[in-house]
Structure 1
Amino acid sequence: MAYAQAGAETSTSDIIVTATRREERLQDVPMSVNVATGEQIQKFNIFDAKDVQQLAPGLELTNTTGRNNTTTLRGITFDPDQGTAPAVRVYYNEIPTDAQTVYTAIYDIEQIEVLRGPQGLLRGLSAPAGSITIRTRRPNFDRPEGYAQATATDRAGYNVQGGVSLPFNEQLALRVAAVVDGNRLNQVRNLNRDGERSRSDTQSVRATLGWRPSDAFSAYLTYQYLHADNTQFQQVIGTGNAPFAFNPARSGPALSVSDYGAVSEGTFRIQNRTHLLNLALDYDLGGSTVSFVGGHQFSKLTTLRDNDSANTVPGYISSSSVRVPYKVGTAELRWQTNNDEGLGGGVSAFYTKQTGTTVVNQRADSFIAPVLGPDAIIPVPFELPDGSQIVIPSPNTVPIGVNVVVPVDTKTWSFAANLRYKSGPLTVEGGIRYSIIKGNQTTQQTLFFGAHPLLATLPPVLGPTEIIPADLQRRTDKPLTGGLTINYAISDDLNVYAAYGRAFRSGSTGVSVPAGISDDLISTRGEKTDSFEVGLKGALMDKRVNYSVAAFYQKFDGFLSRFTSIQYNCPELSGACTAFGPPIQPGESTNGAFDFNYNGDAKVKGIEATIDARFIDTWDLGIAAAYTRARYSNALLPCNDFDGSGVPNQNGTPVITGNGNVSYCASNGRLAETPDFSLTANTELRFPVGDYTPFVRALFNYRPGFTSERVNFRYQDRELLNLFVGLRGPDSKWEITAFARNLLNQKRITNISLGNAVTPTQTPGAVLDSGYRTVNVTNPREFGATLNFKW
């Protein structure tokens, strides 16, 4: 499926895609595909890959915290913090790359393709929901060319980008592109930090060297550098509160959705420095082609964060720092026949390895009681490792710090073979991929006791202690994945197809999990999924109207997901979790909240359709809609169930229902916090006047309201409209555009926490309540202008 016409003179029937690793017409590809060309990316001012969701129904690209880019497709979601492979793979010039880096800066793009459904054969790594391929522009060997574009908005946003091709001769050429971007991210102001605003600053440069010594051989070497510095405060809504009794200090003022307010007293800053290197070689042997793609990514991600985002403890900053070095090397060698008719096929070998040691330092103080003021002093029993006790006068907390070291060492080998048979209108293609996925996950935790005069009698450090059981540290999976497609061309303007796909994701071992909890909360098992799809693609009115329809069914064995802010109990010493502490007692206060990974069976079914039309030469119209019902199937999942009702809630005091470390709730609920139905539409109407062309274009997205069982909240419907008005010069060499994003100024909650943010204390039945729920809200209306020049 394409979401719109590809340009002023191009029909969607003629769009060439590489979804199957072959160059084919979009209409001939036996799967659902959305295509965004580089021209359209510039037209709709898409500077962040997350904005691509405006062009593809059922695709949600979100970032709720400033660092966890999450891709949801066909109701299947993924949280990068869960440590598993993503539900939707992202490929940068055919190299799998993490979304945190790729989504940050979109510039000088040739084409983006959204491939729907399980991907387990054609590319080296499997994915249950789909893949997004991003292809950058390559140098032009024939003539110098380039573009420059500048955008500014009334909300302090700016984007300046450009690219130029420099052919040295017919065999060697260079393309250089760069971008400088700044914006206010979620438009939130922090009221407890003198009105400081969220802010993003990004710089990136890319160079691609092309070598084409003959018609049979080509080589492209690409290097990209990225530096992104984001400060994104967590928005909250609610009345606020004075969490400590007899203490007037409040978490903050009453805040509504339209206030775009935050109250954390510390910052939340994420820095990303990334180097990407990519090499692509193709050698045409006549009857077949040998191809190689290789890449290396080296990223340094640094996060400084106040974990008390809702300020449940006024005057206190729950500081943490996370340093993640991300080193990934990838290589793939492929051989593929070139024949279009008859029997053909190919084989490939793929390898990738990721290393790096994540280091987390954070406060894990144990709070005593909510009735204390900031200067109160009470005797607190403190238990030493040998079982003896001392009494410490302490204001409100037992100060504890945690250092967590997580070495990462994962590697994947995979080998694939496929056969393709084409005879006239019939094409049958299928294959299998055998993978060997190995991971070694350990986590060393060290406890530090904070600065207090009487703590001098204690050992300064407890640990390091390995908190991952030995039998969960190493993991090896050897899945078989693949697929089969049958495509039949009824006519030159109508294709029908059927497809089967199988995908697999390895489970994960939790990072920085509380010590002493059960194995099911530490490590998840692998996920398997099978999908069936049927569809048709066609054209009418001499290809002025193109359409596609697809229906699908998918079943998950052990869908992998993440459950955030789950209250837990653990064996403890002096408020700190340890495997050596005394057993948990029924009814005792919870120790805190954590984000746990877990498996649950699920089923997904739905239908997708598009219509792309050019009724007259000056009017383009594209409409795409998707209905997807993605639900758990009688899955028992971690939850907060404070009142013992068996459904997620935070009614009353945080306690655990049952005998485990967390509560569990039976669920047939959604796999993602997204509605079943979604629709996108875009149009451009041109009014040629001689050599000049005034135009109006619009981009519309509709998401109906729905009720989330996971957070007990009714999300409102969303109607987001972006409007563009501008003038295009002779031969489309320049264009000036004025635009409005979210013209209707809708301020809709897109994500919300279950109940108010709270902090448990060591006093049974007592918690510190912030009076706020954390939320993410659509950005308010924003006006701007763009000037684009091509040569």
Structure 2
Amino acid sequence: MAQSVEPEGAGVPAAAPAPTQATADAPPAVPAETVPAETGVGEAGLAEIIVTATRRDTNLQTTPVAVSAVDSSLINQAAPRDIGDLATFVPNFSAAKITGFNAASFALRGVSVNNIIVYYEAPVGVLLDDFVMPSVQTQLLDTFDIAQLEVLRGPQGTLFGKNTTGGAVTVRTKRPELDRIGGEARATYGSFNAYQLQGALNLPIITDVLGLRLVGSYAKSDGYMRNGYCYGPVVTFGPSKYAGVSGCGDGRRIGGTDVFSGRAKLLWEPTSDISALLQYEIIRDNSEPAVAIEDTPPGNNFLFNVLGVGGARNTGDPLDRHGLTFRETEYIETSKARVDVDGVFLNVNVDIGPGTITNVAGYRFQRSRLPNSTTGMGSIVAPDGDELALFDLNRSDNRKTWQEELRFASDFGGRFDFVSGVFYQREHVDFCVAQVLGFQDLVGATTPYGAWDDNPFVLCNDQRSRSTAVYAEGTYKFTDDLTLTVGGRYTWEKKKWRGRQQSFVQDITGDPTMTWRDVSLMELNDFGRFPTGVVSNSASFKEPTWRVSLGYRFSPTIYGYATYSRGFKGGGYNDQIGSFAPFGANLDAFAAAAAPTDPETADSYEAGVKTEFLDRRLRFNLTGFYVKYKDLQKQIVTPLSVNGQTFQVTRFFNAAAAEVKGIEAEVTAIPIEGLTLRANLGYQDGKYNEYVTPLPAGYDLATAPLDRAPKWQWAADAAYEHPIGDMGSVFLNGNVAYTGRNLFSQSITSPDENAYLQARTVFNGSIGFKGPDDAYSIRLIGRNLTDKRYRVSQLIVGGLWTFSNYAPPRSWAIEGSFKF
């Protein structure tokens, strides 16, 4: 979900002085709910960074895990629009959006998620205050209230929530302060009539015992794309009033944001040994759809080119030729998407002497209504004024998630300590998609109920799932310098799925007089009321995972470690099963096709060194890794022939085995007072060892590169502050980020049809002034300063068409803030 003033780009500007030294506000044995320390520069140089990657507070430089930390000071410098912008500060980590949706697409060490399938579990997990965020639609979190973000690179198979094969992003929000009244307000205005208002208020109710923190953010913009698609002359298969017509969109701005998000937090600390944080989360997203561009390459391999509506007609600035139909009927209101979230979470810590007991409980409800013109084109207009949508849809789901985690972190004060716990998550997902397939009217296809453009094709299914795990991880100090960590986790998962084949409302209800006007879309998910054609399937999985790590302090400033770990990602169902199958027929074959994939696994070998030099004015960390993936769950958009016509369907298979090796380097330096330099470098070399599906392929799929795995990524950032007497200080920043060419989605028919994202280098900058003690500030922010055009996602839709999303152009914003 977009929670930003402006849509997503690739680089992150920053402007602020180096932050001041801070320390953790709890002793090392206190678990992860503690507010982490901030990085900065003290009298001794770079401040210590406290991370929670081992479920207890530890110094980043002596933690035997590949983890990158971005604290609140760096977040304030970077002016990110959401947590995706912070990927710039993490090697081999990239953040994009799923094609056609405002949903997170994170990639790390050769694995990624490029689809919006509601049951698909991403290989890179996101945890917010220890609650596992199951939906990619709301993982692009607003950063205003974040205390620290950590990216754990590599499989997480012991301590963190549900298992992942790529890594995990853990986010800690700011806690109420019990001893002071305070607040912060921020306002931003910039390109595309974009503005954002953010505020936080801290209120101690009972000093040192009970406190309240209220946080809110509202963002709105007109969008940076224009409705300027062009088409025609249209070719039809048989007589049609649309034959021979041409046209273009009206050029209005589209793709704007309209988002409110907020949190209310109540912290209770009756004694020094007890802490309870109760939170309420709200999101109300009324943004326009993440508008795409019809981007089909020239040639007759795609149906849209044959019909005369392919992308070859469109030239010039791609941002001026996106398209949206503005349909308001047949379940599809493309002018508005909507995502609503309500969540309640309780995090409790109790220090019992030998250690701390932590309980994390939460419930989160998400309601998504996601209409869009997935072709990236608007309507085709006939001479009589009738409009035809080539392929509009509305993906709708209701998601309820419950989580409970109980753990114990010991603090024996000797050579051995451990963390152990139990984890439980239960989820209910109800899903329906309505599609209006107007292109069928151009190829001469018919329905029993009139034109395809007037009758939504509906597919509904649901899933009930639960995940239960027990885990333990212990660390033994052989000497003050040599430590061994061994951990394991055992996970049980159970999933139940029901669904019916795609069909028209009249067939689903059994009433030929009933249409979309008589029943809502999500009512068709009531399988008790409409049972015809419904099949069910269930599956259970159980997997052991583990981690072994050896760490050694070579000197007070040099620490090395080596780790072997295994992670897994659970098997799952496909919400698109049943597309274009004859309704009510071949139910046995349909049930077989609905079977889930098996889990995928990752075995990771890693070695790293973490160093500090020059009186802690230079910090350099280097990691080398090698990961073997087995039973990779691959999304393949496959062609499907029905009655002599070619369509497409998204299928998932445990199709591949792969290996990825690489290096990751991070450096922070303070060469002179007031100047902070940061840089990171990621290199990864990945390949498939095998790639076999039960479907016929036009070429050897294993010859393709891994999705979202550029060989090289690097970024560099410089921030400088210069005081101006007692008035305050001027601060400025420059940032550059490079991402190499990488595959976004793969065709099953030809390597020439694979969708690649080209290499790009993006520059950003900012300059500002702040008053004494950061009481107020104002700054000017510039993004994509060279005004580069580049795709951030692209999807091939079988043999029909290709559509893409582009990053924003050059933009500016002015931001003012004050604190009290």
Structure 1 length normalisation: TM-score? 0.83
Which SS does the other structure have where 1:487 is aligned? strand
- Matched letter for residue 203 of structure 2: L
Q: Which residue of 1 aligns with 2:51?
A: 17
Within the alignment, does 1:146 sit opposite 2:183 as a pair? yes
- Matched letter for residue 551 of structure 2: N
Q: Which residue of 2 aligns with 1:129?
A: 166
Which digits, 9 at most, give the CA deviation of each residue in 1:511-561, with x for residues without a partner? Answer: 132346685685322111111100000100011000100001111111113
CA 249–621 in structure 1, closer or farther in 2 if over 3 Å, else same: closer
- Matched letter for residue 704 of structure 1: G
Q: Which residue of 2 aligns with 1:585?
A: none
Aligned match of 1:634 in 686, 690, 693? 690
- Give runs of aligned pairs for residues 152-163 of structure 1, distance below 5 A: 152-163=189-200
Q: Which residue of 2 aligns with 1:781?
A: 810
Which SS does the other structure have where 1:476 is aligned? strand
Which digits, 9 at most, give the CA deviation of each residue in 1:594-631, with x for residues without a partner? Answer: 22222211111111001100112210000100001233
Asked if structure 2 preserves the Cα contact closer than 8 Å seen for 1:36 and 1:111, the reply is yes
- Give runs of aligned pairs for residues 488-499 of structure 1, distance below 5 A: 488-499=552-563
Aligned match of 1:539 in 612, 616, 629? 612
Aligned match of 1:504 in 539, 563, 568? 568
Displacement of 1:484: 1.2
Displacement of 1:716: 3.2
* Greater alpha carbon shift after TM alignment, 774-783 vs 431-440: 774-783
Partners of 2:152 and 2:615 in 1: CA distance? 27
The percentage of counterpart residues that share the same residue type is: 23
Q: Which residue of 2 aligns with 1:580?
A: none
Unaligned runs of 5+ in 1: 373-379, 385-391, 576-587, 648-664, 760-769
Asked if structure 2 preserves the Cα contact closer than 8 Å seen for 1:637 and 1:667, the reply is no
Within the alignment, does 1:666 sit opposite 2:733 as a pair? no
Partners of 2:453 and 2:336 in 1: CA distance? 27
Asked if structure 2 preserves the Cα contact closer than 8 Å seen for 1:60 and 1:71, the reply is yes
Asked if structure 2 preserves the Cα contact closer than 8 Å seen for 1:114 and 1:132, the reply is yes
Aligned match of 1:300 in 367, 386, 392? 367
CA 344–262 in structure 1, closer or farther in 2 if over 3 Å, else same: same
CA 74–348 in structure 1, closer or farther in 2 if over 3 Å, else same: same
Partners of 2:178 and 2:784 in 1: CA distance? 41
Partners of 2:362 and 2:196 in 1: CA distance? 28
Q: Which residue of 2 aligns with 1:37?
A: 71
Partners of 2:501 and 2:544 in 1: CA distance? 36
Displacement of 1:446: 5.8
Aligned match of 2:662 in 606, 609, 615? 606
Within the alignment, does 1:316 sit opposite 2:388 as a pair? yes
Aligned match of 2:219 in 175, 178, 181? 181
Which SS does the other structure have where 2:75 is aligned? helix
Partners of 2:208 and 2:550 in 1: CA distance? 41
Asked if structure 2 preserves the Cα contact closer than 8 Å seen for 1:193 and 1:265, the reply is no
Displacement of 1:339: 3.3
Q: Which residue of 2 aligns with 1:402?
A: 457
Asked if structure 2 preserves the Cα contact closer than 8 Å seen for 1:187 and 1:198, the reply is yes
Q: Which residue of 2 aligns with 1:277?
A: 344
Partners of 1:789 and 1:457 in 2: CA distance? 61
Q: Which residue of 1 aligns with 2:640?
A: 568
- If each structure's strand is expressed as a fraction of its own residues, which one has the higher value? 1
Within the alignment, does 1:619 sit opposite 2:675 as a pair? yes
Q: Which residue of 2 aligns with 1:110?
A: 147
Partners of 1:246 and 1:351 in 2: CA distance? 52
Aligned match of 2:84 in 50, 58, 63? 50
Q: How many residues align?
A: 713
CA 685–543 in structure 1, closer or farther in 2 if over 3 Å, else same: same
- Matched letter for residue 87 of structure 1: P
Which digits, 9 at most, give the CA deviation of each residue in 1:264-313, with x for residues without a partner? Answer: 42426421110121111111111211111111101111122334434696
Displacement of 1:320: 2.9
Partners of 1:217 and 1:671 in 2: CA distance? 48
Q: Which residue of 2 aligns with 1:432?
A: 488
Q: Which residue of 2 aligns with 1:476?
A: 540
* Greater alpha carbon shift after TM alignment, 172-181 vs 73-82: 73-82
Partners of 2:304 and 2:341 in 1: CA distance? 44
CA 429–167 in structure 1, closer or farther in 2 if over 3 Å, else same: same
Displacement of 1:250: 9.2
Within the alignment, does 1:681 sit opposite 2:716 as a pair? yes
Partners of 1:116 and 1:247 in 2: CA distance? 46
Which digits, 9 at most, give the CA deviation of each residue in 1:208-240, with x for residues without a partner? Answer: 101111111111111111101221221234799
CA 6–476 in structure 1, closer or farther in 2 if over 3 Å, else same: farther
Partners of 2:57 and 2:489 in 1: CA distance? 21
Unaligned runs of 5+ in 2: 1-12, 22-39, 230-248, 327-333, 382-386, 517-523, 748-752
Which SS does the other structure have where 2:225 is aligned? coil
Which digits, 9 at most, give the CA deviation of each residue in 1:564-599, with x for residues without a partner? Answer: 4x21136xxxx5xxxxxxxxxxxx442x11222222
Which SS does the other structure have where 1:263 is aligned? coil
Partners of 1:322 and 1:74 in 2: CA distance? 30
- Matched letter for residue 117 of structure 1: G
Asked if structure 2 preserves the Cα contact closer than 8 Å seen for 1:141 and 1:171, the reply is yes
Displacement of 1:244: 9.8
Asked if structure 2 preserves the Cα contact closer than 8 Å seen for 1:241 and 1:251, the reply is no
CA 341–493 in structure 1, closer or farther in 2 if over 3 Å, else same: farther
Displacement of 1:190: 4.9
- Matched letter for residue 790 of structure 2: R
Partners of 1:211 and 1:548 in 2: CA distance? 38
Aligned match of 1:690 in 720, 725, 730? 725
Displacement of 1:24: 0.7
Partners of 1:230 and 1:458 in 2: CA distance? 31
Q: Which residue of 2 aligns with 1:326?
A: 399
Partners of 2:760 and 2:306 in 1: CA distance? 43
- Matched letter for residue 74 of structure 1: R
CA 640–521 in structure 1, closer or farther in 2 if over 3 Å, else same: farther
Partners of 1:426 and 1:257 in 2: CA distance? 58
Q: Which residue of 2 aligns with 1:584?
A: none
- Matched letter for residue 621 of structure 1: L
Asked if structure 2 preserves the Cα contact closer than 8 Å seen for 1:202 and 1:229, the reply is yes
- Matched letter for residue 670 of structure 1: P
Asked if structure 2 preserves the Cα contact closer than 8 Å seen for 1:445 and 1:464, the reply is no
CA 13–633 in structure 1, closer or farther in 2 if over 3 Å, else same: farther
Which digits, 9 at most, give the CA deviation of each residue in 1:288-344, with x for residues without a partner? Answer: 111111111011111223344346966422443332111000010011211354112
Structure 2 length normalisation: TM-score? 0.80
Partners of 1:8 and 1:459 in 2: CA distance? 64
- Give runs of aligned pairs for residues 1-12 of structure 1, distance below 5 A: 7-9=19-21, 10-11=40-41
CA 35–6 in structure 1, closer or farther in 2 if over 3 Å, else same: farther
Partners of 2:791 and 2:738 in 1: CA distance? 14
Displacement of 1:707: 6.9
Which digits, 9 at most, give the CA deviation of each residue in 1:179-204, with x for residues without a partner? Answer: 01123556343553552411111101
Q: Which residue of 2 aligns with 1:199?
A: 256
- Matched letter for residue 189 of structure 1: N
- Matched letter for residue 526 of structure 1: P
Asked if structure 1 preserves the Cα contact closer than 8 Å seen for 2:62 and 2:559, the reply is yes
- Give runs of aligned pairs for residues 695-774 of structure 1, distance below 5 A: 695-705=731-741, 710=747, 711-712=753-754, 715-754=757-796, 759=800, 773-774=802-803
Which SS does the other structure have where 1:633 is aligned? strand
Q: Which residue of 2 aligns with 1:486?
A: 550
Within the alignment, does 1:262 sit opposite 2:335 as a pair? no
Which SS does the other structure have where 1:569 is aligned? strand
Which digits, 9 at most, give the CA deviation of each residue in 1:58-86, with x for residues without a partner? Answer: 22211121243211112211135342321
Cα RMSD after superposing both structures:
3.4
Aligned match of 2:277 in 220, 224, 234? 220
CA 602–520 in structure 1, closer or farther in 2 if over 3 Å, else same: farther
Which SS does the other structure have where 1:199 is aligned? coil
CA 459–104 in structure 1, closer or farther in 2 if over 3 Å, else same: closer
CA 236–141 in structure 1, closer or farther in 2 if over 3 Å, else same: same
Partners of 1:778 and 1:39 in 2: CA distance? 26
- Matched letter for residue 45 of structure 1: A
- Matched letter for residue 58 of structure 1: N
Within the alignment, does 1:290 sit opposite 2:324 as a pair? no
